[in-house]
Amino acid sequence: MRRSADLPPLHGYPTVDELHAMLKELRESHPQLVKVQRIGTSRLGEPLVLYTLTATPAHEPGQAAPRAGHQGLLVGGVHPNEPIGSWTIVQLFRDLAADESLRERLDTDWHAIPCADPDGMRLNEGWFREPGNPELYYRNFYRPAGAEQVEWTFPFSYKRAYFDAMMPETQALQRAIDLTRPDFYVPLHNAESGGAYYYLSEPVPELYELLATLPEHLGIPLHLGEPEAAHFKVLAPAVFEMGTLEQVYDWMESLGLDPAPPGSAGQASTSYASKYGTLSMIAELPIWKHDDADDTTSTDANYAEVLRHAGQEMVATGELLEGLLHEAEAHLSLDTPFRRAANSFIPGIVRAGHSQLGRAEQPENQRLATVAELSGPMGAVWMFRLRFGGSLLRALTAETDSGLATAQTRRLAERLEEQWSRWLREKLAEEDQASEIPVRDVVGLQYGAVLGLAAHVRRTQ
């Protein structure tokens, strides 16, 4: 707990080059403790590397360090719009390198991929300096198309679903898991707004109190509304079981929705790591917090109606963006990541809306909503509008910036800019505005959760 609240001031998030420079400096300062090996190459030619910080240094130069009792793997940038883990890796490795007693107590060899998708993360760097600026954030936001996400492109075969198009970055992550055979694995994620929540690959009751106390200690609320998808099993307040992609498939099928739509991706890295008996954890931490995210007080709003309203808004948003995307496709000439992202996500907005409408008809949702539940469904609508409308806007802007845009493309970009800016103004005018969380606090929370997981593994295995 003390370490999580005792980090130095942190301002913004490091770029890919800054992240690697900091770790290179650490390795050069502690050559007996920190090693690095190349494990792959990104699609655009960026080296992918695995750093290892050993619990006990090698006795002689050139010798291999003794293997510790436990192996831990951290991976940053598995989603390139989620940079909190960059600081978590840097701060953790700095502290471990400087503190022999901490290394001894945890008895762990620490392995880390600083950034699993450097090509994608570079497309987000425009907002890293001012992460609390919503307009800067959404205008420079990039989330890869589903089949281009390192985290969710491991092989998968179930009923009608089949995926085996592993990217070089996914193969590098697979190689890191196979090399380290980790006792615990933490793909470093973060959320956008609301409160803090966690996923565990299995129930671990010994961790629940720590995971609940850490956010409170740092002034961050827990997320006590619904999980990201209703099928997740709740293990403790704001702690969910990861589940499997097979469960997602069956849940979608039960709602009468297509569980394997075009563009579907693969299995998660945590499922792949499970072959080694690995305990996995994800700490989802928001950039902005809603102080009512942990308020379970009942309201006078019917939850089914909350879902229905959000579902209707989601469908309308999806249909509008699909119309603009259809118009754009006739004129776009560049195969940009933004275009692929728009083509991947925009069709799913209507499906997400129908999912909410289907849930509104379920008997268990005919009840009063809690305060924490009120903002979630419409929060997803705003997120989809600004994220994926923004992806299409960046695709159109790439055409105009390259000098290849047709007159129709420029006019379409102007129309979308007007609509997107209106959405942003409406979102910022909402009364229940989220507030920025200091970078040091969200990093401290993720850092503390990682140390807690490592200490648990050290005690129990």
**Tens-digit pLDDT string for the chain (461 aa):** 678 888 999 999 999 999 999 999 999 999 999 999 999 999 999 999 999 999 888 666 566 777 879 999 999 999 999 999 999 999 999 999 999 999 999 999 999 999 999 999 999 999 999 999 999 999 999 999 999 999 999 999 999 999 999 999 999 999 999 999 999 999 999 999 999 999 999 999 999 999 999 999 999 999 998 888 777 899 999 999 998 899 989 988 887 888 888 888 999 999 999 999 999 999 999 999 999 999 999 999 999 999 999 999 999 999 999 999 999 999 999 999 999 999 999 999 999 999 999 999 999 999 999 999 998 999 999 999 999 999 999 999 999 999 999 999 999 999 999 999 999 999 999 867 789 999 999 999 999 999 999 999 999 98
In this structure, the number of other CB atoms found within 10 A of the CB of residue 310 comes to: 23
Give the domain CATH number at 365: 1.20.120
Residues 420, 281 share a domain: no
Residues 165, 75 share a domain: yes
Supply 335's token pair: 């195969």
Can you give the pLDDT at residue 26? 98
Residues 275, 307 share a domain: no
Query: Which runs of consecutive H residues, i.e. helices, occur in 48-151?
Result: 84-98, 100-106, 118-122, 134-139
Q: How far is CA 89 from the centre of its chain?
A: 15
Give the domain CATH number at 225: 3.40.630.10
Can you give the pLDDT at residue 63? 64
Can you give the pLDDT at residue 434? 87
Cα–Cα distance for residue pair 293/279, rounded to 1 Å? 27
User: Which residue range(s) make up the domain with 233?
Assistant: 3-290+437-460
Residues 52, 35 share a domain: yes
Residues 127, 237 share a domain: yes
Burial of 166: CB neighbours in 10 Å, binned 0-12, 13-18, 19+: middle
pTM tops 0.85: yes
Can you give the pLDDT at residue 163? 95
Residues 454, 348 share a domain: no
CB of 256 closer than 8 Å to CB of 358: yes
Cα–Cα distance for residue pair 241/268, rounded to 1 Å? 14
172, 229, 258, 204: which is closest to 460 by C-alpha? 204
Can you give the pLDDT at residue 261? 86
* Three-state secondary-structure class, residue 374: helix
Can you give the pLDDT at residue 252? 84
Residues 246, 185 share a domain: yes
Residues 441, 429 share a domain: no
Residues 449, 424 share a domain: no
Residues 239, 328 share a domain: no
CB of 85 closer than 8 Å to CB of 74: yes
Residues 283, 380 share a domain: no
Question: Angle 371-402/337-360 helices, nearest 10 degrees?
Answer: 160
Residues 6+ positions from 51 with CB-CB distance below 8 Å: 23, 27, 34, 35, 36, 93, 111, 112, 113, 114
Supply 153's token pair: 């492109």
Cα–Cα distance for residue pair 420/429, rounded to 1 Å? 14
Quick one: CA torsion of 45, 92, 288, 305, rounded to 10 degrees? 90
* Three-state secondary-structure class, residue 233: coil
Can you give the pLDDT at residue 258? 87
Can you give the pLDDT at residue 59? 61
SS (H, E, C) 1-57: CCHHHCCCCCCCCCCHHHHHHHHHHHHHHCCCCEEEEEEEECCCCCEEEEEEECCCC
CB of 36 closer than 8 Å to CB of 27: yes
Can you give the pLDDT at residue 310? 97
Phi/psi of residue 378, nearest 5 degrees: -75, -25
CB of 269 closer than 8 Å to CB of 154: yes
Can you give the pLDDT at residue 60? 60
Residues 269, 249 share a domain: yes
Burial of 55: CB neighbours in 10 Å, binned 0-12, 13-18, 19+: buried
Supply 283's token pair: 């700490």
Phi/psi of residue 216, nearest 5 degrees: -60, -40
Phi/psi of residue 341, nearest 5 degrees: -65, -45
Angle at 425 between CA 225 and CA 124, to 5 degrees: 75
> Please, how many CA atoms are within 13 Å of residue 391, restricted to the half-sphere of its CB?
27
Phi/psi of residue 234, nearest 5 degrees: -85, 120
Residues 6+ positions from 2 with CB-CB distance below 8 Å: none
Phi/psi of residue 371, nearest 5 degrees: -60, -40
Structural domains in the chain (count): 2
190, 323, 345, 169: which is closest to 264 by C-alpha? 345
CB of 154 closer than 8 Å to CB of 271: yes
Supply 163's token pair: 């995926």
Q: How far is CA 163 from the centre of its chain?
A: 21
Residues 6+ positions from 413 with CB-CB distance below 8 Å: 393, 396, 397, 399, 400, 405
Burial of 61: CB neighbours in 10 Å, binned 0-12, 13-18, 19+: exposed
Which sign does the torsion angle of CA 223, 226, 230, 235 carry?
positive
Can you give the pLDDT at residue 385? 98
